[in-house]
Amino acid sequence: MESRPRFFLFYLLFLASAAFSNAHIGDFDEYWQKKAEAARDRAQGSYNPDPESVTQSFNEAVSKDLEGNVTRRSLRGKHKFNGPCVATNPIDRCWRCKKDWMQNRKRLAKCAKGFGRHTIGGKNGDLYVVTDASDNDLISPKKGTLRYGVIQDRPLWIVFASDMIIRLNEELLVTSDKTIDARGSNVHIMGGAGIMLQFVHNVIIHGLHIHDIKAGNGGMIRDSEHHFGLRTRSDGDGISIYGSSNIWIDHVSMSNCMDGLIDVIQGSTAITISNSHFTKHNDVMLFGASDSYQGDAMMQITVAFNHFGKGLVQRMPRCRWGFVHVVNNDYTHWLMYAVGGSQHPTILSQGNRYIAPHSLAAKEVTKRDYAPQAVWKDWTWRSEGDLMQNGAFFVESGPPNRMKFNTKDLIKAKPGSFVTRLTRFSGALNCFPGRPC
């Protein structure tokens, strides 16, 4: 049996007393206590004591996928791509150029890579079709709404009957074993509250536009078929992942949320964020919310094939504790820094393209907080095969990572010069029945 790191012993003790101080749960009743305990067990089962093997597997998949693929992209936004379907990375190659994607939506469940690779979402459930864009009843949501689908206590693959704009009156509490699949429809979550994954496992979010999210006021909100309870005010994150595991966010377009675009906190692990497009935001991604919360030491996240675009300022991501694999992303804009953190996270940056802003004060890709150099010099932050442009530079620290990972958990990077093709189709896609996406 594989040994677990010593911090798990502290984690179990510490989590019981500290995990719920900012959980937005107004009444932490028996239902939430049992749900939190089950989430802890799932997270421990999802944690990989050998994370570098995961990055190696990712790297191998990327290398294999690019053999013979010489497609190049034009500058994003300058020319619309009208050629034949070209899947430019191993996640997309799994499904995107198949004409029958609509008849075989659940093929997507086989396609995750990196730390979230075991996520299958609602593969073992029925299709649920969202036909109603309203969100008027938070306790007894109407059948046909998105809220009704996500609170069901069974696996579901959730799709949309048509294009729609959904304004959530309060945060959307998603239960385990769900896929929210917007392919084939132009679906915007905007103008209201965001999406909360709290003490859940096995969730896929794919193809949504999420923007202009506001903080919710809280109140009585249903969180499953058989339970509702008091929620406090939400933060205004686009997607918040709290105490959850096996989560995959793919091909989303996100911008301009009140707090973060994506927050991953409170012992969440086994997560992949891929093929997404981020614009017009200050604090983009937060991985770990507190320097004092040791439970985030189990956090393992893959950030791959994303485009960090116009109007971004910082936190792409900002990390505490844990292990973060930042691989083959395109960083074309930032104002302060791209990748930062505190509390000795391990950050492995491989094959990204970093284009620094014109400001001489913002050329450094990295930023360490709340620690002098005498301390952070021992943090493992490594840059391998990254392409630095316009004066960008990555300040490395610490020894090479010595942790051992399952080879399927780490995506093998191509050099940063390949990033434009790997991220060419990032963000929500325009998919039509009978045609490749």
* Among 291, 257, 262, residue whose Cα is nearest residue 274: 262
Separation between Cα atoms, residue 357 and residue 429, nearest integer Å: 28
Q: How many CB atoms lie within 10 A of CB 256?
A: 16
What is 213-282 written as a DSSP string? ------EEEEEETTEEEEE------SEEEES-EEEEEES-EEE--SS-SEEEESS-EEEEEES-EEESEE
Total residue count of the chain as it appears in this document:
437
Helix 30-46 with 7-18: angle, nearest 10 deg: 160
Burial degree of 372 (CB within 10 A; 0-12, 13-18, 19+): exposed
Cα distances from 180 to residues 75, 109, 147, 174, 366, in angstroms, run 30, 12, 11, 10, 33
Q: Please give the full DSSP string across 318-348, using - where no structure is assigned.
A: EEESSEEEEES-EE---SS-SEEEES--EEE
105, 183, 315, 421: the catalytic one is: 315
Mention every residue, 6+ apart, whose C-beta is less than 8 A from residue 344: 321, 376, 378, 379
d(CA 329, CA 308): 8
* 3-state class (DSSP) for residue 105: helix
Q: Which of 120, 145, 115, 113 is nearest to 132 (CA)?
A: 145
315 counts as catalytic: yes
**Sign of the CA dihedral running 26, 32, 37, 40:** negative
SS3 108: helix
In angstroms, rounded to a whole number, what is the distance separating the alpha carbons of residues 260 and 254?
Answer: 10
> Contact, 179 vs 247, CB < 8 A?
no
Active site residues: 315
